[in-house]
């Protein structure tokens, strides 16, 4: 059974994750917003660096791999939002990740979930995916790009979650590992985007900078919390609980972005809640 401290702090991370993803979606040019957001995150990480212990050398390979995966993820996610609604892309991306994380946990860490916990991950993931598939109705012949990009994003989320879990456990300092990842991947993302699109990427108005500052702060908080949790609890369960952020995104997409909230999506939200209960009260 996941402890109360891990359970509730991961739910807080889910809320923060929903917040910064929503900011990327509504922030105008999404590539620019993502680059600025992650660069601001690097600045926050730099300020935090003197206050955390450096990760052990055994984790450095995982750290480098995590930075690479996160950088690709930072480029794919805004492209996905360019092609699809927040209420569709986000749930598919997040819902497709936890089961892959469970497989990664079994293969790399020998982390076999109990029957109840596994059922909770399956139920929660199914509800999350349904929130995406039952998003806005698309006419026959509509582009399938949003789904394709969302599934690619989900694969990247699963990959960095497993890598982060292995790295945090090898690092001796999970928070130190997380801070270094966010310091380096923000710089890497900004450099790639700068090379790709030029300096005009960073020429945005004051409102966008403020939005990015808020998003960057939420992104750092969400990520540091989850890495801390991954060092202490089964990665499949942590990944699944983090994806409860889709419940917050469903509300944002419906009431802020006016993307609709149907009875089917409400039913999907209830399934997500059932998965949360199963994960919380089942043996790990």
Instruction: Answer whether 92's CB lies under 8 Å from 152's CB.
Output: no
Q: What is the pLDDT of residue 51?
A: 95
Measured distance CA(123)–CA(129) in Å, rounded: 10
**Contacts with 239 (C-beta within 8 Å, 6 or more apart), sequence order:** 97, 98, 101, 102, 121, 158, 161
Domain layout of the chain by residue ranges: 4-281
Q: What is the pLDDT of residue 108?
A: 84
Tokens encoding 12? 């807080």
Tokens encoding 228? 């801390």
Residue owning tokens 């807080």: 12
* Nearest to 117, CA basis, from 256, 258, 7, 263: 7
Q: What is the pLDDT of residue 213?
A: 94
* DSSP-H helix ranges across the chain: 4-26, 30-48, 60-83, 86-95, 97-109, 115-133, 145-171, 174-197, 206-230, 235-242, 245-255, 263-281
Specify burial of residue 57 (Cβ count, 10 A radius: 0-12, 13-18, 19+).
Answer: exposed
Q: What is the pLDDT of residue 134?
A: 59
Distances (CA, A) of 20 to 42, 55, 194: 15, 26, 21
Measured distance CA(254)–CA(203) in Å, rounded: 30
Q: What is the pTM of this model?
A: 0.86
Residue count of the chain: 284
* Nearest to 10, CA basis, from 250, 244, 172, 177: 244
Measured distance CA(25)–CA(2) in Å, rounded: 32
Q: What is the pLDDT of residue 172?
A: 92
Q: What is the pLDDT of residue 174?
A: 94
Here the contacts of 196-204 (C-beta below 8 Å, separation 24 or greater) are: 196/31, 197/31, 197/32, 201/29, 201/31, 201/32, 201/35, 201/36, 202/32, 202/35, 202/36, 204/28, 204/29, 204/32, 204/33, 204/36
Measured distance CA(60)–CA(242) in Å, rounded: 25
Over its length of 284 residues, how does the chain's per-residue pLDDT go in tens digits? 578 888 889 989 988 988 887 787 776 678 888 999 999 999 999 999 999 999 999 999 999 999 999 999 999 988 888 887 776 787 788 777 888 888 888 888 777 777 777 887 888 778 777 766 655 545 444 556 778 888 899 899 999 999 999 999 999 999 999 999 999 999 999 999 999 888 888 888 888 899 999 999 999 999 999 999 999 888 888 888 887 787 777 777 677 766 666 677 667 777 777 777 777 666 65
């Amino acid at each position: 059974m996941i402890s109360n401290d891990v359970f509730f702090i991961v739910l807080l991370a889910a809320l923060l994750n929903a917040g910064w993803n929503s900011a990327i979606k509504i922030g105008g040019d999404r590539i620019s917003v993502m680059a600025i957001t992650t660069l601001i995150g690097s600045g926050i990480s730099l300020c935090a660096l003197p206050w955390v212990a450096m990760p052990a050398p055994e984790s450095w390979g995982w750290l480098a791999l995590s930075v690479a995966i996160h950088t690709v993820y930072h480029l794919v996610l805004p492209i996905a939002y360019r092609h699809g609604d927040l209420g569709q892309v986000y749930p598919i991306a997040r819902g497709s990740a936890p089961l892959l994380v469970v497989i990664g946990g079994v293969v790399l860490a020998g982390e076999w979930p109990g029957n109840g916990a596994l059922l909770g991950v399956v139920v929660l993931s199914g509800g999350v995916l349904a929130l995406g598939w039952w998003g806005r109705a698309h006419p026959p012949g509509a582009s399938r790009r949003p789904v394709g990009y969302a599934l690619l994003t989900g694969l990247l989320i699963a990959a960095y979650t497993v890598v982060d879990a292995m790295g945090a456990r090898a690092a001796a300092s999970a928070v130190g590992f997380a801070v270094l990842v966010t310091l380096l991947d923000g710089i890497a993302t900004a450099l790639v985007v700068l090379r790709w699109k030029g300096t005009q990427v960073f020429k945005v108005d004051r409102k966008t900078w403020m939005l990015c500052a808020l998003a960057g702060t939420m992104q750092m908080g969400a990520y540091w919390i989850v890495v801390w949790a991954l060092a202490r609890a089964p990665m499949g369960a942590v990944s699944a609980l983090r994806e409860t952020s889709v419940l917050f995104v469903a509300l944002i997409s419906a009431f802020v972005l006016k993307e609709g909230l149907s009875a089917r999506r409400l039913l999907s939200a209830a399934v997500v809640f059932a998965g949360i209960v199963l994960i919380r009260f089942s043996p790990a």
